[in-house]
Amino acid sequence: MRTSILDLFRIGVGPSSSHTVGPMRATHAFATSLATYGQLLETKRIEVELFGSLALTGVGHGTDRAVLLGLSGERPDTVDPDCIEPIITSIKTNQRLNLLGQQSIDFNIKTDLLWRRDLTLPGHPNALACRAFNADGKLLQSRTYYSIGGGFVLLEGESAQAEVAYAVPHPFSSARELLDRATAANLPIWKVILENESARHGEAVVRKYVDDIWAAMRACMERGLITSGILPGGLNVKRRAPRLHARLAEQSSNDPMVGMDWINVYAMAVNEENAAGGRVVTAPTNGAAGVIPAVLRYYERFVPGADQDGVLRFFLTAGAIGVLYKENASISGAEVGCQGEVGVACSMAAAGFVAALNGSNIEIEHAAEIGMEHHLGMTCDPIGGLVQIPCIERNAIGAVKAINASRMAMQEGSEHSVTLDQVIKTMFETGRDMQSRYKETSLGGLAVNVVEC
C-alpha cells in the first residue's frame, strides 16, 4: 500500500487542492530545499513558471497567491486564512517577499511569476518550475513539481507508482483484492482499513485523526451556513447556503423531501467556503469537498441510531475507495475531468454511507460503483476559472447521488453486472480520451458558453 487515508483527507484552504494546496506545498518544499542545501541566505531572486492548467485557470483558482504563500513559508494545513490577504498585499505593494520567513528578497509578481498558458509539460497538466538565483544571477537551484490532485505533489522524476509501499496486514491494489482480503479475514471493509492504518500509525492516532477531520469538516460547514455575501473573483455569485439554511430552519419537517434540501445546503455551505478561500478538508479534493461532509451530516441528522462508530465506519470505508481511485486512476480534474473529483467523492460517500448503515462489503462495492458509473464523462469546465459555477451545485447533486447509489445497492444486495474495478478503469480511460479543453482549462463547456457576469 502506498497511500494512507490520513494523506487522502487533508486540512487546507480553498479554492482548489490541485491549484492552491498543491502549488503552496510545492513552493514551500522548494524554499525548504534551499534552506536544506544552505542556499537560502544566498538567494536574491526567485522565478516561478506555471504551465498548462495551472496557468490557464490559476488566477481564478488562487494559484498565484498560493505560490507567494508557499515561498513565504506558509503551509496549507497551518496557514491562518485571516492572515493570507495581508501577506499577499504586502508582497504586491512592496515587491518584497520574506523567503521561508527568513530571507527578504525582491519579488515582482509581473516578472517573477510567469504564466505559460500555451505550454503543458509531459508529466502532468498541473506543473510549476521554481528557480533560485544569487546576487550575480547565478542559478542556485531549479526544480519542477507536478500537482497531481488532492493536494498531492510530485517532484519531476518521481512517480506516484514508485512511492514507497508500507507493510500492512491486508494489502490490496484493487476492489476485488479488497473484497477477497476482507472475506479471508472475515472482516468488514472498515475493519480491514482500520487494521491497515493502525499498523502504520497506531489505532489511537487513526481514531483521533478521523475525529479531527470530521470536526474540521463540520466547522467549515457551520461557517458556510452563517456567512453571507458575494464570493470573490468577479462573477458576483451570491452565497446561497445561509439563505437556504434560514428558510429550512423555519420550514415544517413534514415535507418528505426535506432531507434532500438539507443535503443540498450542507454541500453548498462547504463549497461556498471553499470558493471564498476558507479552511476546508480535501475529500478527495477541494473542488469536491462538499459531498462527503453533506452525506455524513445527513447520516447524523436523519438516520436513527447514528453514532460516532458509524462516522468511523464511514470515513475508513470512504477512504479505502478513494485510495483505489488515486492509485489506479486519478483524482485530478486537470487530468480526467470532474469525474475524478465530484465523481470520486460521490463514489466514496456512497460506500461510506453503506458502511455507516452496517451494509455488507458487496453492497459497499456496489454503491461505490454506482456512484461513479453515473458521473462517467463529467467535464471540468469552471466559468472564469473559478471554483463556483458549476462546482458548488455539482457537489450538492453529487451528495444526493451518493445517497441514492447507496440505497440502490442495499436494495439489490449482491446482484450487479458492473464491478468497481471496471468502472475505475473506465473512468481513467474516459479521462485520458477527453479533450484537454474540458479538463480544468476553462477553454470549453460552460466556461465558454456562459457569459461571465
pLDDT at 164: 63
pLDDT interval class at 166 (50, 70, 90): confident
Task: Give me the numbers of helices (H) and strands (E) for the chain, helices first please.
Answer: 19, 9
DSSP secondary structure of 433-453: HS-GGGBSSSSSTHHHHS---
**Domains in the chain, ordered, with CATH?**
17-155 (3.30.1330.90), 175-438 (no CATH)
CA atoms within 13 A on the CB side of 419: 10
Are residues 150 and 12 in contact, defined by beta-carbon separation less than 8 angstroms?
A: no
pLDDT at 254: 82
Are residues 357 and 190 in contact, defined by beta-carbon separation less than 8 angstroms?
A: no
pLDDT interval class at 451 (50, 70, 90): low
- 354 has pLDDT over 70: yes
3-state class (DSSP) for residue 386: coil
Reported pTM:
0.94
- 69 has pLDDT over 70: yes
Chain-centre distance for alpha carbon 41? 34
What's the rounded Cα separation, in Å, for the pair 269 and 254?
A: 23
Quick one: angle between helices 420-433 and 175-185, nearest 10? 160
Q: What is the mean pLDDT of residues 185-204?
A: 97
Interval 9-54: pLDDT, tens:
999 999 999 999 999 999 999 999 999 999 999 999 999 999 999 9
C-alpha cell at 217: 469538516
Whole-number CA gyration radius for the chain: 22
- 317 has pLDDT over 80: yes
User: Which residue in 285, 263, 286 sits closest to 276, CA to CA?
Assistant: 286
Cα separations in angstroms, 319 against 215, 272, 413: 17, 24, 22
CA triple 71-322-62, angle to 5 deg? 30
pLDDT at 305: 96
Cβ of 140: how many Cβ atoms within 10 Å?
Answer: 18
DSSP structural state of residue 239: P
Q: What is the mean pLDDT of residues 92-96?
A: 96
Place of cell 477531520: 213
What's the rounded Cα separation, in Å, for the pair 58 and 50?
A: 8
- 252 has pLDDT over 60: yes
User: Which residue in 270, 274, 223 sits closest to 17, CA to CA?
Assistant: 274
pLDDT at 414: 75
Q: Which amino acid would we find at residue 193?
A: I
pLDDT interval class at 413 (50, 70, 90): confident
What's the rounded Cα separation, in Å, for the pair 121 and 128?
A: 9
- 159 has pLDDT over 80: no
pLDDT interval class at 124 (50, 70, 90): very high
User: Which residue in 334, 446, 432 sits closest to 23, CA to CA?
Assistant: 334
pLDDT at 271: 98
pLDDT at 453: 47
C-alpha cell at 196: 491497515
User: Which residue in 289, 283, 243 sits closest to 270, CA to CA?
Assistant: 289
Distance in Å from the first CA to the final CA of the chain: 46
Are residues 147 and 155 in contact, defined by beta-carbon separation less than 8 angstroms?
A: no
pLDDT at 163: 59
Are residues 390 and 446 in contact, defined by beta-carbon separation less than 8 angstroms?
A: yes
What's the rounded Cα separation, in Å, for the pair 64 and 55?
A: 9
What's the rounded Cα separation, in Å, for the pair 277 and 87?
A: 14
Q: Which amino acid would we find at residue 209?
A: Y
User: Which residue in 294, 311, 322 sits closest to 396, CA to CA?
Assistant: 294
Is the backbone of residue 5 left (phi > 0), alpha (psi -120 to 50) or beta? alpha
Interval 225-251: pLDDT, tens:
999 999 999 999 999 999 999 999 998
- Secondary element (H or E) of residue 295: helix 291-302
| Residues in a beta bridge with 21 | none
CA triple 391-7-435, angle to 5 deg? 40
Are residues 223 and 239 in contact, defined by beta-carbon separation less than 8 angstroms?
A: no
